[in-house]
């Protein structure tokens, strides 16, 4: 969860990393008493995420800095739009500038990419043979655990800002039986259905169990074991449709594997409930934001 404590800890660590012994450029060039104001400006279209993190970075550098947001997380912005104003001691403004921008640019990049995938899902309804998902009103775009170490709370929050949803936060949140688990169990003579039933006996009654399958032949075993979600990994469109038919609403259907903006509408049109996209966090491009000096 992206709490104030998590934000504070992260921005303080980033400031310490960037200026462990102070900002020698500012100390050599800027008078200690100088005051100034700057504006956070968008250089391109995007979706905002991390405006509170932006403010926290300046606040951690010097609580006397004022940050005045002009936009909320989840809102879209255009090139040239003023997103926030900051005012305070010039030395501290310049010292915290890069840390504040690094967080906000990356988070907004994730939110922007997520929004593009969510928009792509909406295009599915216009495709011939479109089938609505069973579990939700519209197919969900979700993230994965392919996040930057130490920054998962920020990146998963940014996905939500872009209109997406979070998959499990970490290994402690839900059972997810993947191909390597299945292979290891097979070595012990345990089939997939038996493994799922065994897991069900070991975990609490509220624990969700997801199973990854890489072929249609594994779906009956996953259903027989009582999986709550079945992930169709790297399935063709035809096999995805067949998988949705086989599952027939008895489990949530998730599609995964090399999802692109071009491919997502057709995948969503098969009737899957969820599409997981690792690229939201592992291949994102930071949005171009700048801090423009006002006075």
Q: Which long-range contacts (CB under 8 A, 24 or more apart) does 68-76 make?
A: 72/48, 73/48, 73/49, 73/111, 73/161, 74/47, 74/48, 74/49, 74/111, 74/161, 74/162, 74/163, 75/47, 75/48, 76/45, 76/46, 76/47, 76/48, 76/115
Superfamily (CATH) of domain 4-110+285-293: Quinolinate phosphoribosyl transferase, N-terminal domain (3.90.1170.20)
Residues 227 and 215: their CA atoms lie apart, in Å, by 16
Residues 153 and 151: their CA atoms lie apart, in Å, by 6
* Annotated active-site residue in 92, 97, 212, 273: 212
CA 141 to chain centre: 10
Residues 184 and 23: their CA atoms lie apart, in Å, by 53
pLDDT digits (tens, 9 = 90+) for 52-106: 999 999 999 999 999 999 999 999 999 999 999 999 999 999 999 999 999 999 9
185 — pLDDT class (breaks 50, 70, 90): confident
- Considering only CA atoms, which of 293, 286, 290 is closest in space to residue 112? 286
Same fold, 4-110+285-293 and 118-283: no
Residues 159 and 116: their CA atoms lie apart, in Å, by 11
pLDDT digits (tens, 9 = 90+) for 4-47: 999 999 999 999 999 999 999 999 999 999 999 999 999 999 99
Position 182 scores a pLDDT of 80
Q: What are phi and psi of 163, to 5 degrees?
A: 95, 5
Residues 77 and 228: their CA atoms lie apart, in Å, by 38
233 — pLDDT class (breaks 50, 70, 90): very high
The answer to whether 156 is a known catalytic residue is no
Residue pair 53/3 in contact (Cβ under 8 Å)? The answer is: no
* Annotated active-site residue in 87, 134, 146, 168: 146
The answer to whether 131 is a known catalytic residue is no
Superfamily (CATH) of domain 118-283: Aldolase class I (3.20.20.70)
Of 191 and 126, the structure prediction assigns the larger pLDDT to: 126
224 — pLDDT class (breaks 50, 70, 90): very high
Residue pair 60/8 in contact (Cβ under 8 Å)? The answer is: yes
* Annotated active-site residue in 119, 191, 233, 288: 233
Q: What is the DSSP letter of 261?
A: T
pLDDT digits (tens, 9 = 90+) for 145-174: 999 999 999 999 999 999 999 999 999 999
The answer to whether 16 is a known catalytic residue is no
Between 173-187, 242-256, 281-295, the lowest mean confidence (pLDDT) is in: 173-187
Query: What are the residue ranges spanned by the domains of the chain?
Result: 4-110+285-293, 118-283
Rounded mean pLDDT of the chain? Answer: 96
CA 248 to chain centre: 29
The answer to whether 146 is a known catalytic residue is yes
What mean pLDDT is predicted for residues 182-195? 84
Please state the pTM of the whole predicted model.
0.95
Between 159-168, 175-184, 206-215, the lowest mean confidence (pLDDT) is in: 175-184
* Annotated active-site residue in 76, 87, 98, 200: 98
Rounded percentage of the chain residues whose pLDDT exceeds 70: 100
294 — pLDDT class (breaks 50, 70, 90): confident
* Annotated active-site residue in 178, 200, 250, 263: 178
Dihedral sign of CA atoms 105, 110, 113, 119 in order: negative
- Considering only CA atoms, which of 269, 93, 256, 262 is closest in space to residue 179? 256
82-89/66-69 β-pairing: antiparallel
The answer to whether 9 is a known catalytic residue is no
């Amino acid at each position: 969860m992206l709490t104030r404590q998590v934000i504070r800890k992260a921005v303080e660590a980033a400031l310490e990393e960037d200026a462990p012994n102070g900002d020698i450029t500012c100390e050599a060039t800027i008078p200690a008493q100088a005051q100034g104001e700057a504006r956070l400006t968008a250089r391109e279209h995007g979706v905002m995420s991390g405006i509170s993190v932006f403010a926290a970075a300046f606040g951690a550098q010097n609580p006397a800095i004022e940050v005045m947001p002009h936009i909320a997380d989840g809102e879209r912005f255009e090139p040239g739009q003023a997103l926030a104003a900051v005012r305070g001691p010039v030395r501290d403004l310049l010292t915290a500038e890069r840390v504040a921008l690094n967080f906000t640019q990356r988070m907004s990049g994730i939110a922007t990419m997520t929004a593009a995938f969510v928009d792509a899902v909406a295009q599915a309804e216009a495709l011939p043979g479109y089938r609505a998902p069973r579990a939700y009103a519209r197919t969900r775009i979700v993230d994965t655990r392919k996040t930057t170490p130490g920054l998962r709370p920020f990146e998963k929050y940014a996905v939500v800002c872009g209109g997406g949803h979070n998959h499990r936060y970490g290994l402690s949140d839900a059972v997810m039986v993947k191909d390597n688990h299945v292979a290891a169990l097979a070595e012990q003579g345990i089939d997939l259905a038996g493994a799922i039933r065994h897991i069900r006996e070991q975990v609490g009654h509220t624990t969700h169990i997801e199973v990854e399958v890489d072929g249609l032949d594994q779906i009956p075993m996953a259903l027989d074991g009582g999986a709550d979600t079945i992930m169709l990994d790297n399935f063709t469109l035809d096999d995805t449709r067949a998988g949705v038919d086989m599952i027939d609403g008895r489990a949530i259907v998730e599609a995964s594997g090399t999802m692109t903006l071009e491919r997502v509408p057709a995948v969503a049109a098969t009737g899957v409930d969820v599409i997981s996209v690792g690229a939201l966090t592992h291949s994102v491009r930071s949005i171009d934001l700048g801090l423009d000096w006002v006075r």
